[in-house]
Amino acid sequence: MRTDTADVEQPAADPAFQYLSLGRKLKNNAATVVFTAAFLIAVVPLLWVLVTLLQRGLPPLLNADWWNHSFYGLLPSDFGGGIYHALVGTIEQALVCALFSVPLGVTVGIFLIEYGQNSRLAKTATFMVDILSGLPSIVAGLFIYALWITTFGFDRSGFAVSLSLVLLMLPLVVRTTETMLRIVPDELREASYALGVPKWKTILKVVLPTALSGIVTGVMLGLARIMGETAPLLILVGYSRAINFNLFEGPMASLPLTVYTARKTSTEAGEYRMWGAALTLVLLIMLINLLATLISKFFAVKTK
Amino acid sequence: MAKRLDIKDLNLHYGKFHAVEDVTLQVQARSVTSFIGPSGCGKSTVLRALNRMHEVIAGARVDGKVLLDGEDIYAPSVDPVQVRRTIGMVFQRANPFPTMSIRDNVVAGLKLTGEKNKKKLDEITERSLRSANLWEEVKDRLHKPGGSLSGGQQQRLCIARATAVQPDVLLMDEPCSALDPISTLAIEDLIAELKKDYTIVIVTHNMQQAARVSDQTAFFNLRAVGEPGQLVEIEETGKLFSNPNQKATEDYISGRFG
């Protein structure tokens, strides 16, 4: 005797769904191959750079002197010494640059989103920021040279470098602030207004804290980017093998400048310094990116 | 102190678009008034004009008078920030401040306008949360973020936040439209209690809700899309739903609209 369940297992009509056709299987496989290959092609140079950097740059870094000594008193052909002077220079120049770019850039971003909206001033500012963000770093260097050194008559210095880096970092900070403020929902602003909170206080206490995580991340990434800039350094400050804490006076080393200078001395020690400084720079930038992730997690809006 | 509202010849524009035409109505102190009507008829726009939130939108314009116990809130000398302090608002979507704890959300209006006394803020937190029927649910986690609450709780948090500054009037823009029936009931019960102390105006798409909570109901309509919205009639709620004066109202409430 046939049961009802047996009937259910027998299809009553032709199946509505067909098997995957051979053509589609082939196309799928071909696409998979193409995408995987593109990924590998993109990743190989990246890994290659990292491996080369580690191979050649790691030995100097394993020496304790590398982190707390300069090259002061050493000949270009001497091994030993360290990168401390260049770390000091890079970090000081970047921090002073941030000191100018961050307040200025965040303020401009707030103006553009919260006050300017579609005013002519805001449109002009946006246009200028667009131009600035496409500015080649060598031009930023030349401009500061013409303004700060030729026109105002100051000496070449680490501070001049900081000024040129401001031109490069400012558009990054403005952009980040704009983007982050734009994604703060208007409902939050309205909720605050409806409580009788003035606009400036709404921006300061409601809008900015909500956007803070993104702004801080953007600033850190901008900082990481300008640390690797080299062109303005070549124009605006002399290289020094000694430690110089003073941004306003005398030659000052930095990591990119050390790489550049060491490459010019065609000695084995020069190569040792060059790769060491290059790896140090990459590690410093990686550290900052890592810090950016941590900071953004710390400031992120919490839901638990 | 609850106060009455008199709206006289109110005309509202968004840029060149005439959104609402010639609205005149009265809202008694310690009463609940519902605004009902089809989408786009301008009821939310009128509500937002009652605490000067309409002008926050770029290009928005207001003509006419809104009197709060006889004082025109649109008089040139009046500071809109003070008006909003006096006439609070609850929005369609719960919008607690994501960076603040439950407690800080409740007292945000006070803290952001300069109140620092911790003891006073704690008292107001408890009182406002109790009046919003939320205290028992959150009293052990006041320091947790406002976003950690459920949708219905968040909306009650927003009501607590609005009442913490002790406004004279409370405006509610479809406060239950995103909530389930149980949370809706909780908020409707709350409205009935808040009525003792506040003048309440509520916009709702839910006619049963208007019938349940309000003392008087205003029906808004528009002649056609692109035309300004108008007030068709305002009537005691029982009368409006059982025996409206206008044919359009009857069509709308009986579902024979359009």
At A235-280, the pLDDT tens digits run 999 898 888 999 898 899 999 999 999 998 888 888 889 999 999 9
Q: Which residues of A touch B88 (CB under 8 A)?
A: 194-195
* Mean per-residue pLDDT, A150-174: 94
- Classify the C-alpha dihedral A139-A143-A145-A148 as positive or negative: negative
Domain boundaries, chain A: 22-58, 84-299
Task: Identify the pLDDT of residue A58.
Answer: 92
Residue B183 pLDDT exceeds 90: no
**Tokens 């963000």 label which residue?**
A133
Q: Quick check: B72 and B66 in contact, CB under 8 A? A: yes
Domain boundaries, chain B: 5-94+170-253
Residue A8 pLDDT exceeds 70: no
Please calculate the CA angle A45-A49-A52 and round it to the nearest 5 degrees.
130
| Distance between B248 CA and the closest CA of chain A, angstroms | 33
Alpha-carbon span B35 to B240, nearest angstrom: 12
**Tokens 């700060």 label which residue?**
A148
Alpha-carbon span A5 to B247, nearest angstrom: 60
Residue A13 pLDDT exceeds 90: no
Between B109, B147, B158, which is nearest A197 by CB? B109
Cβ-defined contact of A210 to B95 (cutoff 8 Å) = no
Q: Quick check: B187 and B154 in contact, CB under 8 A? A: no
The percentage of chain A sitting over the pLDDT mark of 90, rounded to a whole number, equals: 70
* Mean per-residue pLDDT, A141-169: 95
Q: Does any CB of chain B come closer than 8 Å to the CB of residue A302?
A: yes
* Mean per-residue pLDDT, B204-231: 90
Q: Which residues contact A119 (CB under 8 A, 6 or more apart)?
A: none
Q: φ, ψ for residue A48 (rounded to 5)?
A: -55, -50
* Mean per-residue pLDDT, A7-25: 77
Q: Which residues contact B130 (CB under 8 A, 6 or more apart)?
A: none
| Closest to A229 measured CA to CA, from A168, A271, A301 | A168
Q: Which residues of A touch B96 (CB under 8 A)?
A: 191
Q: Quick check: B165 and A195 in contact, CB under 8 A? A: yes
Query: 3-class SS at B79?
Result: coil
ipTM attached to this prediction? 0.90
Residue B52 pLDDT exceeds 70: yes
Residue A216 pLDDT exceeds 50: yes
Task: Identify the pLDDT of residue A6.
Answer: 55
- Radius of gyration, CA atoms only, chain A: 28
Cβ-defined contact of A191 to B97 (cutoff 8 Å) = yes
Q: Which two tokens stand for residue B185?
A: 């009931």
Fold topology of A84-299: MetI-like fold (1.10.3720)
Q: Which residues of B touch A185 (CB under 8 A)?
A: 95
* Mean per-residue pLDDT, B81-88: 92
Q: Which residue of A has its CA nearest to B162?
A: A195
Statement: the pTM of the whole predicted model exceeds 0.80: yes
Q: Which two tokens stand for residue A100?
A: 């100018």
Residue A9: pLDDT band by 50, 70, 90 thresholds? low
Task: Identify the pLDDT of residue B258.
Answer: 46
Alpha-carbon span B69 to B3, nearest angstrom: 6
pLDDT in tens, A74-109: 887 788 888 999 999 999 999 999 999 999 999 999
Strands (E), B149-215: 169-173, 199-203
CATH for the B5-94+170-253 domain, from 3.40.50.300, 3.40.1160.10, 3.40.50.1980, 2.40.30.170:
3.40.50.300
Helix axes A208-227, A84-110, angle to 10 degrees: 140
Whole-number average pLDDT of chain B: 90
Q: Which two tokens stand for residue B126?
A: 């408890």
Q: Quick check: B167 and B67 in contact, CB under 8 A? A: no
* Mean per-residue pLDDT, A126-139: 93
pLDDT in tens, B142-182: 999 988 899 889 999 999 999 999 899 999 999 988 888 88
Task: Identify the pLDDT of residue B107.
Answer: 94
Neighbours of A125 (CB within 10 A): 17
- CA B90 vs CA B42, B47, B177: distances in Å: 17, 11, 12
